[in-house]
């Protein structure tokens, strides 16, 4: 090994892990990065999907938490939603199955119409869309209303 080091073939690799002791890591949080390894903490949401009997479509409910896992205030949740839809398509309402829980809800009045158009577009493209893909497509459609929330991207469909 000494001969290898002396030959100059051993270069410093900038991509190697730089170790720091715990005192250095606990300096301060910068731009959301925490003392636990520089991981960026973000807001999280619980998503609930219920069936709306009146509109006969799925209905999405959201409850948000801040970076420290504390419930978000109503105005903080509105910050994460498209401003074109906040307080119009997305409103704060009581969840139909959970007592005393006010959640953000995406109003389902146009869900059926939009989902029918998406399904028709897929069929016009010569593809078959199975029933099991309906909720995946529904979540992708709803993401237009809530662009800051990312879902699982492991499923794809072709239009």
Active-site positions read 109
Helix or strand (DSSP H, E) at 63: strand 57-65
Buried b (16+ CB within 10 A) or exposed e, 112-149: eeebeebeeebeeeeeebeeebeebbbbbbbeebbeeb
Cβ pair 145, 106 in contact under 8 A: yes
Stated as kind and residue range, the H or E segment containing 115 is helix 111-124
Please state whether 38 falls in left (phi above 0), alpha (psi between -120 and 50) or beta: left
| Residue with token string 């577009």 | 121
The SS3 of residue 133 is: helix
């Amino acid at each position: 090994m000494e001969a290898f080091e002396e030959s100059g073939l051993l270069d410093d690799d900038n991509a190697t892990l730089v170790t720091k002791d715990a005192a250095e890591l606990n300096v301060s949080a910068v731009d959301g990065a925490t003392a636990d390894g520089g991981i960026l903490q973000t807001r999280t949401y619980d998503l609930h999907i219920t069936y709306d009997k009146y509109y006969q479509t799925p209905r999405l409910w959201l409850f948000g938490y801040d970076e420290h896992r504390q419930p978000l205030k109503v105005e903080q949740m509105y910050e994460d939603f498209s401003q074109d839809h906040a307080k119009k398509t997305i409103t704060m309402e009581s969840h139909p199955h959970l007592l005393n829980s006010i959640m953000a809800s995406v109003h389902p009045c146009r869900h059926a119409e939009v989902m029918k158009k998406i399904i028709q577009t897929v069929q016009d493209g010569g593809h078959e869309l199975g029933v099991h893909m309906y909720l995946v497509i529904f979540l992708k459609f709803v993401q237009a209303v809530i662009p800051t929330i990312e879902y699982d991207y492991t499923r794809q469909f072709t239009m």
